[in-house]
Structure 1
Amino acid sequence: MCGYLGNAIDSPLAKTLMLILGIDLGLLRDNTGTGPAANIDIILSKYGQRTVTRAIWWLLLEQTPDGPKPSKYTSFNTRSDKLNTLGSAGFHAYRESRCIIPATYIIEGNGAKGSRHYHRIEPTSTAFALGGLYREWINQKTGEQIRSCSVITLAPHPKWQTIHNKSTPLFLPPEQSILERWLSEDIIDVTEFNSLLVPSIPERLHCTPIERPRKQTPTGSCFEITD
């Protein structure tokens, strides 16, 4: 995933996802689009209570005189093939602090830097529930708690090749039971999530070629992708 997403809280897509999760839509912030290392909304469960909170979209932080900041190691995505590698950035988070990153659209880029082709991808029934991880940090200067997060990425889906030929985001199926299990703090045996780590497209997607993430001028006709 190339690292750009947005949330329109007035979208029926966002309303549907929050309804499935039983969370007040008012907790979700309007986000016209943002990239890595920015503050984004994530959904997590803490002490059995699901809520929306902010997190830095960069899983690994390092302490600085001004508090935790994104480290030099790129970590806005976590590869699924590293989730079971002891010592990897996502190993413990996968077992202890999973989250959902909601998005009413994402943007993917394909190709080499300088000649990359971008697409804006939108779901058709409910906002994306991107499978993610989060970690918690303490600002040693202020004592404030800070969260960081990443999106789990899978192997490329066969129908995703023209969108991104190296990886596919983990699109969690918009089913209440699956989303609740994913967020559950009680589940540490992650083998039950193995089937989710197989690249899939759980619903019909609208894909529009665009100029670039921050200037989303269409450069071609919209087309659809289904699993």
Structure 2
Amino acid sequence: MCSVFDVDDHAGIERFLDIYGVHHPQRMIFGRRRRPTQQVSIVTARHGEPEIENATWHLYMERDGDGWKPHRKYWSINSNWKKLGSRPEYRKSRCLIPATAWVESQSGKNPVEFSYGEPFFFCGLYKTWGELLSCSIITLDAHPATKKYHEKSLPMIAPADTDFVERWLTGGEDTAQFEPYLHPHIEYHGNSLMVQPVVRATSTEYAGERIGVEG
């Protein structure tokens, strides 16, 4: 379960977005340790071209007076890959979520930060609620090499492939094309996954050295 992630503005995000032709990078929300229900930046192509939009990190919302708030009964910051077939958003409203790192823990203990040393996209889903957007991060099964850090899951990370990004955002309801990607991988763009202990999941203070995850 991915519940904390970073979007570091010193990690070449604008250059990264430019590679994939993403418009309006000035809309990006930066910050370390982004948390559930906060506003985060996502990439959609709902207006034709890939662009940065901002969304509440909690897919399902409920009415709150004249507005919306995260639904109390449906905790939905993540969307498990096994349930994607029943989610209309998987067929109709896929998104990408720029990030530079994420934090996991084992039953709330021994939190660690995962990173690749460069920006990447989480694969996600989004919904519209009037003028408001909401989103979730798709989670896969844990990789054998990451189970000792978080035994339940690993976030789905888009390959560094412009063709995949285009198909993910604009590929319509043909989800069969994405089945090969619904398996956990720990290498990204030729880089090994790195892991570093942190004092607390929401802390930026480290508790040990950064090492490569061997898989």
> Structure 1 length as normaliser, TM-score?
0.87
Extract unaligned runs of 5+ from structure 2: none
What corresponds to 1:149 in structure 2? Answer: 135
1:12-51 deviation per Cα after TM superposition (whole angstroms, max 9, x unaligned):
3x24431221125433222222211111000111232111
User: Partners in 2 of 1:100 and 1:151 — Cα distance?
Assistant: 9
User: Partners in 2 of 1:174 and 1:226 — Cα distance?
Assistant: 20
User: Partners in 2 of 1:4 and 1:153 — Cα distance?
Assistant: 13
What corresponds to 2:77 in structure 1? Answer: 76
Per the alignment, do residues 48 and 226 of structure 1 end up closer, same or farther by CA in structure 2, a change over 3 Å counting? Answer: farther
1:63-109 deviation per Cα after TM superposition (whole angstroms, max 9, x unaligned):
12141110121100000000113xxxxx1100000000111111111
> Structure 1 residue 61: deviation in Å?
0.4
Contact kept in structure 2, 1:172 and 1:202, CA below 8 Å: no
Contact kept in structure 2, 1:109 and 1:164, CA below 8 Å: yes
The SS at the match of 1:119 is: strand
User: Partners in 1 of 2:122 and 2:180 — Cα distance?
Assistant: 15
Matched, 1:196 2:181: yes
> Structure 1 residue 171: deviation in Å?
1.0
Matched, 1:209 2:197: yes
What is the Cα-based RMSD across aligned positions, in Å? 1.6
> Structure 1 residue 128: deviation in Å?
2.1
Matches within 5 A, 1:136-175: 136-138=128-130, 145-175=131-161
User: Partners in 1 of 2:32 and 2:204 — Cα distance?
Assistant: 11
Q: Tell me which amino acid in the other structure corresponds to 1:106.
A: W
> Structure 1 residue 214: deviation in Å?
2.5
Per the alignment, do residues 26 and 47 of structure 1 end up closer, same or farther by CA in structure 2, a change over 3 Å counting? Answer: closer
What corresponds to 2:19 in structure 1? Answer: 20
Q: Tell me which amino acid in the other structure corresponds to 1:23.
A: V
Extract unaligned runs of 5+ from structure 1: 86-90, 139-144
Contact kept in structure 2, 1:20 and 1:175, CA below 8 Å: no
The SS at the match of 2:88 is: helix
The SS at the match of 2:195 is: strand
* Count of residues in Structure 1 that have an aligned counterpart in Structure 2: 210
**Which of the residues 97, 101, 109 maps onto 2:105?**
109
The SS at the match of 2:16 is: helix
Contact kept in structure 1, 2:2 and 2:139, CA below 8 Å: no
User: Partners in 1 of 2:104 and 2:124 — Cα distance?
Assistant: 17
The SS at the match of 1:211 is: coil
Contact kept in structure 1, 2:36 and 2:58, CA below 8 Å: yes
Contact kept in structure 2, 1:209 and 1:218, CA below 8 Å: yes
* Overall identity of the aligned pairs, in %: 29
The SS at the match of 2:149 is: coil
Contact kept in structure 1, 2:4 and 2:202, CA below 8 Å: no
Q: Tell me which amino acid in the other structure corresponds to 2:141.
A: A
User: Partners in 2 of 1:43 and 1:100 — Cα distance?
Assistant: 5
> Structure 1 residue 117: deviation in Å?
1.1
The SS at the match of 1:153 is: strand
